[in-house]
Amino acid sequence: MTTDSSTNKRKLVRLLCNASFGDSVLTCSEQSFVAKSINYNHQGICVFTFQRIPEVDTLEIGFSYQQGNEEVVVDKIPCQVVYALFTETGDQFGLRFLWDDIDPAVQERLRRIEALLEKNSDDQDRYGLNHQ
Amino acid sequence: MSKTVKELEVTVDQLELGMRVVRLDRPWIETDFLMQGFIIQDQSDIDALVRQCDSVYIEAIYETVAKPERREAPKGLFARRRSVPPPVKVAVQPAGSLKKARVARPAAGEKVTYINKINTERELPAARNAYSSAKTVVKNIMEGIRIGRMLDMNQARETVDHIVDSILRSKDALAWLTKIKDKDEYTAEHSLNVCILSATFARHLGHDEKEIREIALCGLLHDVGKSKIPDEILNKEGRFTDEEFDLMRQHTTFGRNLLMSLPNADRIAIDVAHSHHERLDGNGYPRGLQAHQIPYNAKVIALTDSYDAITSSRCYDRARASMEALDIIYKCKGTQFDDELALEFIKCIGIYPPGSVVEFTNGEVGIIVSTDEKNKLRPRVIIVLDADKNPGRERIVDLNKGAVDDNQQQYIIAREIPNGQFGVDIRDYLKKGLVIQGQSKPLG
């Protein structure tokens, strides 16, 4: 796996995956692993998993976003692992979607999820604590 | 004062974790217990005793005060016979159950409210000294255990006292120091950082001073079992193999055994060393405890431990920003972390904790000096670089007071950047004691 050398180049806001954002399913080496979806934009996603996944540079990911009657589902999106942090409580992975290898219709779905997430987020109260 | 160990009969509703059961109110053979005598390790042991007995006999320590030895009374004409009174019984307590551990955070009515007695800048020199000597103590503890020396609990408690004293004076000064990471000293720094973060969190939760010291001690010693892991695994560059991973996970049991072998270790510190990797959903280790079986202090340390692990630069990884660690804690509340404690921890730390290097939307770069309890997104910041990332006029701005830049635009933080980026290293500012250019005294 490679480490991230572009942490500071990312200009896109990483939106916190809210309750409407389902867990992610990672597929690599013909195995599937469930991971918590942490934060997201249409270019990539951060996930956290307690399962030990094989050491790979690329993998596929699927997840869904459901809001009211609208459900946006994406599956088998090719990703590059841009950073990996292994801790005793779980492993964190930063994944960049391999945009050029993604079907335009699926690209549109990725943008739609970002738009829905952005609409429901509050950058002054990321965790909704001001309303408690 | 001398101690004698005797049996004490207690009803099953009085049982607590850590008590040593030596006899039952019925023959062992009539029960499911395989061992005739054991230490209560978890709630399931208590449940089994409640199911099968009405009362049990536990090991109790009787402390007695002996009268001072007297000279033999003079014999002869002036001799007077005196009777020596029996020893005075001063205390009876079950072995290993010195005090009831707290099971939940303080309720609204019992919260202690703290105010900073001095500001961050003035506390920083004392905090720096406390941090430096504490780090030496932690390293000595870990190295001492490796060569077979016994852990000195009094030294550990003294170290914790210095740390907690600083946090009670000012909550942000030691927090600055936790942001400086030395990859070669990860294990010692991590133990110390968890101690500092736990004390800061306990203060935020409104615990009394005694409880803050207890939680901080648990933080300091939570990973003491890692001293039993070989250095080549502990400091390995790269991912652990499955075998190494399994060995690493045993540090919780090593820690429990190590602390239990000491004559004066706090019972709750033993519990935390053993249970800080347990999860609310029962998928933790080493015992897979259920939520109600996990000690409260272990739930607190699980949060501070994970936060520091994610934001620290281990020898084989790159540290992540505070916000990412908080995102993970937020998303794992209810499964890994206690729901309420997780939200309180996020409130306590804030997205931009003291010592964080941040970039503003106008391109300028600054370091967070201190945060406002009520508005963590609007801290006090030292501006250290201008919009072109050149060293400019250093000044403090208070975002909570609507500070504006030279173009009369309000300062808004865009993101946290890693320490060292653009040549900004918080060590430089710590060395000079937060004295900014053009001033000879610390800010205040």
Quote the minimal CA–CA distance from B300 to chain A in Å: 14
The residue ranking higher by pLDDT, B342 or A9, is B342
Cβ separation of B316 and A86 shorter than 8 Å?
yes
| Residue B290 pLDDT greater than 90, yes or no | yes
**How far is Cα B260 from Cα B280, in angstroms, rounded to an integer?**
25
Which pLDDT belongs to residue A37?
98
8 Å CB contact between A33 and A71? no
| Residue B248 pLDDT greater than 60, yes or no | yes
**How far is Cα B347 from Cα B329, in angstroms, rounded to an integer?**
12
CB of A18 within 8 Å of a chain B CB? The answer is no
Task: Tell me which residue of B415, A74, B289 sits closest to B272, measured CA to CA.
Answer: B289
Using a CB-CB cut-off of 8 Å, the residues of chain B touching A86 are 239-240, 316-317
| Token pair of B209 as six digits | 């001073």
Quote the minimal CA–CA distance from B318 to chain A in Å: 7
* Sequence spans of domains, chain A: 13-117
Taking residues B5-25, what's their average pLDDT? Answer: 80
Q: What is the CATH number that goes with domain A13-117?
A: 2.40.10.220
8 Å CB contact between B398 and B419? no
Residues 6+ apart with CB under 8 A from B69: none
Which pLDDT belongs to residue B316?
43
Cβ separation of B248 and A88 shorter than 8 Å?
yes
Q: Which of B226, B236, B331, B345 to mutate to test the interface with A (most CBs of A within 10 A)?
A: B331
Taking residues B132-156, what's their average pLDDT? Answer: 92
Q: Which residues pair with A27 in a beta bridge?
A: A32, A60
Q: Which of A36, A37, A124, A127 to mutate to test the interface with B (most CBs of B within 10 A)?
A: A127
Quote the minimal CA–CA distance from B325 to chain A in Å: 10
Q: Which residues pair with A68 in a beta bridge?
A: none
Per-residue confidence band for B198, with pLDDT thresholds at 50, 70 and 90: very high
Which pLDDT belongs to residue A7?
42
8 Å CB contact between B327 and A18? no
ipTM of this complex: 0.91
8 Å CB contact between B417 and B423? no
Nearest to B328 among A3, A14, A38 (CB): A38
Residues 6+ apart with CB under 8 A from A3: A82, A83, A84, B317, B318
| Token pair of A117 as six digits | 């997430």
The residue ranking higher by pLDDT, B77 or A13, is A13
Q: Which residues pair with A87 in a beta bridge?
A: A90
| Token pair of B52 as six digits | 């099968």
DSSP B19-50: -EEEEESS-GGGSS-SSSSEE--SHHHHHHHH
Question: Which A-chain residues 25-44 have CB contacts (< 8 A) with chain B?
Answer: 36-39
Q: Which of A92-96, B305-309, B424-428 has the lowest mean pLDDT?
A: B424-428
The residue ranking higher by pLDDT, B345 or A5, is B345
- Residues B213-224 have pLDDT tens digits of 999 999 999 999
Name the CATH superfamily housing domain B108-349: Hypothetical protein af1432 (1.10.3210.10)
Cβ separation of B242 and A52 shorter than 8 Å?
yes
Q: Which of B101-105, B259-263, B272-276, B287-291 has the lowest mean pLDDT?
A: B101-105
Q: In the A/B pair of chains, how many CB contacts fall below 8 A? A: 76
* Sequence spans of domains, chain B: 2-68+87-94, 108-349, 357-431
**How far is Cα B304 from Cα B149, in angstroms, rounded to an integer?**
28
Residues 6+ apart with CB under 8 A from A65: A20, A21, A22, A71, A72, A113, A116, A117
| Residue B44 pLDDT greater than 70, yes or no | yes
Which pLDDT belongs to residue A113?
97
| Residue A35 pLDDT greater than 60, yes or no | yes
Which pLDDT belongs to residue A71?
95
Cβ separation of B343 and A7 shorter than 8 Å?
no
**What is the pTM assigned to this prediction?**
0.79
Cβ separation of A8 and B331 shorter than 8 Å?
no
The most confident of the ranges B76-90, B288-302, B305-319, B403-417 is B288-302
Q: Which of B204-208, B325-329, B362-366, B432-436 has the lowest mean pLDDT?
A: B432-436
Does residue B286 have a cis peptide bond before it, meaning omega lies within 30 degrees of 0? yes
CB of A52 within 8 Å of a chain B CB? The answer is yes
A38 sits in which H/E element: strand A31-41
CB of A85 within 8 Å of a chain B CB? The answer is yes
Per-residue confidence band for B209, with pLDDT thresholds at 50, 70 and 90: very high
Which pLDDT belongs to residue A80?
97
Q: Which of A6-15, A96-105, B155-164, B419-428 has the lowest mean pLDDT?
A: A6-15
Cβ separation of A16 and B324 shorter than 8 Å?
no
Beta strand B413-417 pairing with B391-398:
unpaired
DSSP state of B333: B
Using a CB-CB cut-off of 8 Å, the residues of chain B touching A92 are 310, 320, 324, 328
Task: Tell me which residue of B163, B248, B147 sits closest to B155, measured CA to CA.
Answer: B163
Cβ separation of A46 and B302 shorter than 8 Å?
no
Other Cβ atoms within 10 Å of B226 Cβ, number? 21
Which pLDDT belongs to residue A36?
97
